[in-house]
Amino acid sequence: MKYQVHSSKSLDKKTECLVLAVWEKTGPDHSPLLDESLSALANAVFKAGDIKGKTGETLLIPAHSHAKAERLLLVGAGDAARFDARAYRKAVRAAVQALNKTPARSAVITLPQLKIKDRDAAWAITQLTLECSNAQYRYDHTKSKKAEALHLKSISITVPVAISKKQADDAIRAGEAISLGMSTARELGNLPGNICTPGYLGNKATELASRYKSVKVKVLGEKQMEKLGMGSLLSVGRGSKEESRLIVIEYSGASKADSKPYCLVGKGITFDTGGISLKQGLGMDEMKFDMCGAASVLGAMESVAELGLPINVVAVIASAENMPSSTATKPGDVVTSMSGKTIEVLNTDAEGRLVLCDALTYAERFKPKTVIDVATLTGAAVATFGEVNTAMLSNHQPLAKELLELGEHTLDHVWQLPMNEEYQSLLDSNFADIANIGGPKGGTITAACFLSRFTEKFHWAHLDIAGTAWLGGGQKGATGRPVQLLVEYLRQQKP
Ligand code: BES
Ligand code: MN
Ligand code: ZN
């Protein structure tokens, strides 16, 4: 998609589609781009009741005989006094969807000129760009008929005078870069387990390094992990013929090479059968999405490299396939993690924490400023938050607060759960230093408590994306969350 900033007061040349907001109370927005006849047309359809202005409502009006626009796309924006970030995103999404159903190859979108509660123009532009680019994503990797390219190729964004051309261009670039990372995350998530294996993820990371000079990648196999003492990570892939991988991606953007990095850690279980603690059959196919944490971390690294952020970032991805077999880890087996702590594997389906703990210990060597891990870790997070909020737990409240606020700002929502000391004893084991499950209660919390035993040396936040990484049912597919949150977090950081 080609984006350009349109700042003039009128349409200088004919557009294939002009996108305009309609308010519930007052009708069509008074955009300076409307000439008399377009304005009369919009007012007439509003008066006639063809569009009421409810948020997300759309109406396409052919206007081929008009001098400046072949079509007018009206988009409901609701009550102007209550027009907030949520309403803006809803209107933008609806507009883009409707736009993509038309044959228009180019469009002028005036929505970023609207006044949004608690958000500035840069936010509006980034969000618009992100939504437009995200709407272009189609999954067709494993379909014999490839998806047809959409007609829409170029978007002109009209912006308020309050923002400079440079700021607007930066905002566009951010939206595009985040969308790029999100589509990588979605594609990897959507690929089936027989294609997207730990080795495949390793190759994707290597590809990233070949595209960006600022990125270096190291992919460790089982032998190398054996040497590092990663007995916990390795225990998960024991039952699979697919070799486990530890993927380390280093991005250098800070002017001082020795500037301490921010670290992202991702759970990359490319299929989770549960292992010997086998899952029930219904819906098990969705466990191909159990590498969405890894996918979001990889996607975020791509965005960071694309943006050339002036910081250093390291990603550590722990990838394995969790299968039952005669060589698989059994309930009751005790394994030794890289940290030296022994773990009693009471349930082989609680495998995410087993791969993450060794990846987190590995992260120590970078002396990271902060560590954020991303994982489809617990069904309990789905039960608690559904598809709306990512569960967040942390050992450092300032980091938690920052993520909480950014979740609200980006609409890539997170909500914090507590990690009181009292939960820790649920992980006691008679046969090892720690058990890998904490019983039936507080599943998301006890999973984070397990991880917290391996994160004492740094500021850490855990994002449980089990409910937010993909949608089920008719819209089954990866969402690309929380790439936006991660990238916006990193954009805020100093070297
Ligand atoms: N990958 C699953 C978590 C999951 C389940 C994510 C359903 C999304 C939807 C994870 O490996 C798992 O199986 N967790 C268990 C832990 C339990 C055995 C303590 C769970 O949540 O049931
Ligand atoms: Mn599992
Ligand atoms: Zn899992």
pLDDT of 102-156, one tens digit each? 999 999 999 999 999 999 999 999 999 999 999 999 999 999 999 999 999 999 9
Residue 172 lies in a domain: no
Average pLDDT on 336-354 reads 99
Find the helix packing angle between 483-492 and 165-190, rounded to 10°.
140
Q: Are 42 and 156 part of one and the same domain?
A: yes
Tokens for 391, please give them.
């569960």
Strands (E), 35-89: 58-62, 71-78
138 given a catalytic annotation: no
Cα 295 to its chain centre, rounded Å, is: 9
pLDDT attached to residue 64: 87
**Closest approach atom of ligand 1 to CA 446:** 19
Residue 474 CB-density burial (10 A; 0-12 exposed, 13-18 middle, 19+ buried): exposed
Residue 284 lies in a domain: yes
* Phi, psi values for residue 34, rounded to 5°: -80, 125
Among 136, 164, 192, identify where a domain stops. 164
d(CA 272, ligand 1 centre) in Å: 9
Q: Which residue has a Cα nearest atom 5 of ligand 1?
A: 379
pLDDT attached to residue 10: 84
Tokens for 487, please give them.
């990238």
Q: Which residues of 323-337 are buried (b: 16+ CB within 10 A; e: fewer)?
A: bbeeebbeeebbbbb
The lowest-confidence range among 29-43, 224-238, 279-293 is 29-43
Q: Are 461 and 411 part of one and the same domain?
A: yes
Among 164, 189, 219, identify where a domain stops. 164
d(CA 377, ligand 1 centre) in Å: 6
Q: What is the CATH number of the domain that holds 386?
A: 3.40.630.10
Contact partners, residue 321, CB within 8 Å, separation at least 6: 193, 197, 198, 237, 240, 242, 244, 269, 270, 271
Amino acid making up residue 184? T
How many structural domains does the chain have? 2
Q: Are 115 and 237 part of one and the same domain?
A: no
**SS3 of the chain: helix, strand, coil, percent, to 5:** 40, 20, 40
Tokens for 235, please give them.
């225990």
Q: List, chain by chain if needed, residues with CB within 6 Å of any ligand 1 atom.
A: 272, 290, 347, 349-352, 376-380, 382, 437, 443, 466
Spatial distance between the Cα atoms of 212 and 214, rounded to a whole number of angstroms: 5
Residue 170 lies in a domain: no
82 given a catalytic annotation: no
Q: How many residues does the chain have?
A: 495
Query: Which ligand approaches the C-alpha of residue 466 most closely?
Result: 1
Residue 330 lies in a domain: yes
Spatial distance between the Cα atoms of 77 and 80, rounded to a whole number of angstroms: 7
Q: Are 136 and 184 part of one and the same domain?
A: no
- 373 is in which domain, residue-wise? 180-491
pLDDT attached to residue 7: 80
- This prediction's pTM: 0.98
The helix or strand, by DSSP H or E, that contains position 116, with its residue range, turns out to be none
Cα 379 to its chain centre, rounded Å, is: 19
Average pLDDT on 173-183 reads 98
Q: Are 129 and 214 part of one and the same domain?
A: no
Going by C-alpha positions, the residue among 117, 118, 115, 122 that lies closest to residue 157 is: 122
Max intra-chain CA distance, the chain: 81
d(CA 490, ligand 2 centre) in Å: 29
Tokens for 471, please give them.
């949608």
Q: Which residue has a Cα nearest atom 16 of ligand 1?
A: 350
Spatial distance between the Cα atoms of 200 and 209, rounded to a whole number of angstroms: 14
Tokens for 69, please give them.
């626009």
Q: What is the CATH number of the domain that holds 110?
A: 3.40.220.10
Q: Are 232 and 284 part of one and the same domain?
A: yes
Residue 120 lies in a domain: yes
Strands 470-471 and 477-478 come out as: antiparallel
Q: Which residues of 112-135 are buried (b: 16+ CB within 10 A; e: fewer)?
A: bbbebeebebbbbbbbbbbbbbbb
Q: Is 318 left (phi over 0), alpha (psi -120 to 50) or beta?
A: beta
Average pLDDT on 222-249 reads 99
**Closest approach atom of ligand 1 to CA 269:** 1
Residue 174 lies in a domain: no
Tokens for 239, please give them.
């039952």
Q: Are 108 and 37 part of one and the same domain?
A: yes
d(CA 245, ligand 2 centre) in Å: 18
pLDDT in tens, 437-488: 999 999 999 999 999 999 999 999 999 999 999 999 999 999 999 999 999 9
DSSP letter string, 303-353: HHHHHT-SSEEEEEEEEEEE--STTS--TTEEEE-TTS-EEEES-TT--HH
d(CA 352, ligand 2 centre) in Å: 6
Q: Which residue has a Cα nearest atom 13 of ligand 1?
A: 349
Neighbours of ion ligand 2 (CB under 5 A): 272, 349, 351
pLDDT attached to residue 397: 98
Going by C-alpha positions, the residue among 406, 411, 348 that lies closest to residue 116 is: 411
**Closest approach atom of ligand 1 to CA 447:** 19
Q: Which residue has a Cα nearest atom 7 of ligand 1?
A: 379
Q: Are 84 and 214 part of one and the same domain?
A: no
Q: Are 158 and 185 part of one and the same domain?
A: no
Q: Sorting pLDDT into bands at 50, 70 and 90, what band is 336?
A: very high
Q: Which residue has a Cα nearest atom 14 of ligand 1?
A: 378
pLDDT attached to residue 6: 86
| Residue 101: strand, helix, or coil | coil
Average pLDDT on 197-221 reads 98
Task: Tell me the percentage of the chain whose pLDDT exceeds 70.
Answer: 100
* Phi, psi values for residue 382, rounded to 5°: -70, -45
Residue 197 lies in a domain: yes
Residue 177 CB-density burial (10 A; 0-12 exposed, 13-18 middle, 19+ buried): buried
**Closest approach atom of ligand 1 to CA 351:** 11
Find the helix packing angle between 121-134 and 165-190, rounded to 10°.
30
**Closest approach atom of ligand 1 to CA 467:** 8
Are the beta carbons of 303 and 180 closer than 8 angstroms? yes
d(CA 487, ligand 2 centre) in Å: 27
Q: Are 184 and 325 part of one and the same domain?
A: yes
Spatial distance between the Cα atoms of 35 and 37, rounded to a whole number of angstroms: 6
Q: Are 157 and 279 part of one and the same domain?
A: no
Average pLDDT on 403-425 reads 98
Among 100, 130, 164, identify where a domain stops. 164
pLDDT attached to residue 277: 98
pLDDT attached to residue 130: 98
Single out the catalytic residue among 238, 267, 353, 453.
353
Residue 169 lies in a domain: no
| Mean per-residue pLDDT of the chain | 97
Query: Which ligand approaches the C-alpha of residue 268 most closely?
Result: 3
Q: Which residues of 411-434 are buried (b: 16+ CB within 10 A; e: fewer)?
A: ebbbebbebeeebbebbebeebbb
d(CA 479, ligand 1 centre) in Å: 19
Ligand 1 pocket: which of 378, 426, 427 to mutate (most atoms within 8 A of CB):
378
pLDDT in tens, 70-100: 999 999 999 999 999 999 999 999 999 999 9
Average pLDDT on 2-28 reads 93
The helix or strand, by DSSP H or E, that contains position 206, with its residue range, turns out to be helix 198-211
Q: Which residue has a Cα nearest atom 22 of ligand 1?
A: 379
Residue 379 CB-density burial (10 A; 0-12 exposed, 13-18 middle, 19+ buried): middle
DSSP letter string, 358-426: HHHHHHGGG--S-EEEEE---HHHHHHHTTT-EEEEES-HHHHHHHHHHHHHHT--EEE----GGGGGG
Q: Are 472 and 340 part of one and the same domain?
A: yes
Single out the catalytic residue among 93, 138, 279, 330.
279
**Residue 8, pLDDT above cutoff 80:** no
